[in-house]
Chains A and B, each alone.
Chain A
Amino acid sequence: MLAMNDVQAGYGNVLALQGVSLTIQPGEIVALIGANGAGKSSTLMAISGIVPCRSGQILLKGKSINGLAPDRIVAMGVSQVPEGRRIFADLSVQENLDMGAFLRKDRAGIRQDLDYVFALFPILAKRRHQYGGTLSGGEQQMLSMSRALMARPQLLLLDEPSMGLAPLMIRQIFRIIKEINREHKTTIFLVEQNAHQALRIADRGYVIENGRIILTDRAEKLLANPDVQKAYLGI
């Protein structure tokens, strides 16, 4: 589905990614874990075409997407739930969802997906005509995920979906991520500081440090790895 080959990317004279290589197979859940500032968000922003790739290559379904405009990458089936959720605060819940389906023309399919996200998160149906900015943190996370799903993505990028949420809400969010992956065969790339939860639902994981991938393995192996336990699992 996705391959990054020795990707370097950054902002001004900050090189946030110093040669990141990874692959994601179709239908997988892959976790990317790492400390604050390690380059997790930059990795997702590079895939979405927001942060330009300075060297190396990003392949989506075998095709290079280097230098492609962000809207073309969305059109190729990649949606992102960014860090901090980034809800359009002055748009209603419904309008936020409309924006998620911005590039789609198939009205029947859009309606069907709307029913689907309202079934996943019934509270959003109740808040449909409220402004996005009036939702609670958990509701905003649900809306941000729903907005991304409205594009009917093949690859869903999730940036710290558990950040700032109560434990009960975190469990619900991770359960739904797993469900989306199972029912729709949506490939998921999950960025988390909450490494334990992420690795429990993931198939494989990568560990990033200072803009470089330092370790990769099956998720259950990473959970059992003493170095990972010490650095990221607080054990």
Chain B
Amino acid sequence: MDYFIELFCSGLTRGAIYALIALGYTMVYGIIGLINFAHGEIYMIGAFTSFIVATVLSIYGFPLAAIVVVTGISAAIWSSAYGYTVEKIAYKPLRNAPRLTPLISAIGMSILLQNYVLLAQTSDFLPFPELIPEFAFMEPVAHIIGSSDLVILVTTAISMLLLTLFIKFTRLGKAMRATAQDKTMALLVGINVDRVISATFIVGSLLAAIGGLLIASHIGQINFAIGFIAGIKAFTAAVLGGIGSIPGAVLGSLILGLTESFATGYVSSDYEDVFAFSLLVLILILKPAGLLGRAGTGKV
């Protein structure tokens, strides 16, 4: 039973990380109908920024709490700047082009950013400093759930809550929903649609940066290719839940995380991807719009 709970907890942790990335895919898709293939790289850049800032601050011996806060903020700012810039140079000029064109531009951005980090940094795996300590109060359950799992789950839950409040109640959040539903009408009520699209990329990048920081300190090492794999998984989760739907992205991520965790624990880690993608194929056959997706217009 303990083993089951342990797998369940690690599945939730995986799912939480996928969710932080999947939200960026689904929000961008909801607003401009584009699969932003470079989104995984934004997450990777978040992890790299975290690595650089955290390592430097550790060397100077700053207290752990200060390191975590400064690292988080730096990663969020840096990733958002990349996300914003990618949209401005690679997607905005193609806003009225045929659908395939920005998709190819997105794949190009993904390859570009990977190779840029590869050349500017290294192809080696880099050891990530330990930012999450083992909490004393977690000791009795440490064989089932680790301290870093707890931190990931709590941080993700808070992020989701803030995102929901933002989308539901703020002026910008409402403008995002309006723009996702009808861009022309959004323009007609005076919404600056370009700015709303930029904001969507920034919010998505910010969440991915938080994911990058959390996963890097959880696993303890990073390299330039981590964004590719995590990106594909998160994209799968977003499609699973219904691309364009925010609750769908979270649900899809949790299901995917749990599936992988149980497949690894009870069958073999060799089969984790097989199970994940079989699940995707199955759901797309039974429900082509994804679990919470709607065929037709409804998005975000």
Contact = CB atoms under 8 A, between A and B. Distances in A.
Contact of A50 (B171, B188, B189, B192): B188
Interface in B264-300: 297-298, 300
B58 interface: no
A74 B192 CA distance: 11
A74 B184 contact: no
Interface stretch (B60-68, B136-144, B147-155, B175-183): B175-183
Q: Looking at chain B, what size class is its interface with the partner chain? A: 10 to 19
Interface string B239-279: 00000000000000000000000000000000000000000
A50 B174 contact: no
Contact of B189 (A49, A69, A89, A99): A99
A151 interface: yes
B191 to A, nearest CB: 6
A91 interface: yes
B181 A74 contact: no
A71 B174 contact: no
A113 interface: no
A99 B191 contact: yes
A90 B174 CA distance: 10
Contacts of B298: 89-90
B187 interface: yes
Interface stretch (A80-88, A164-172, A225-233): A80-88
Given A71-B190, A90-B298, A99-B189, 12 more contacts: A50-B187, A70-B190, A71-B191, A75-B190, A89-B297, A90-B177, A90-B300, A91-B177, A95-B177, A99-B178, A102-B171, A102-B189
Interface of A: 48-50, 69-71, 74-75, 79-80, 82, 86, 88-91, 95, 98-100, 102-103, 147, 151
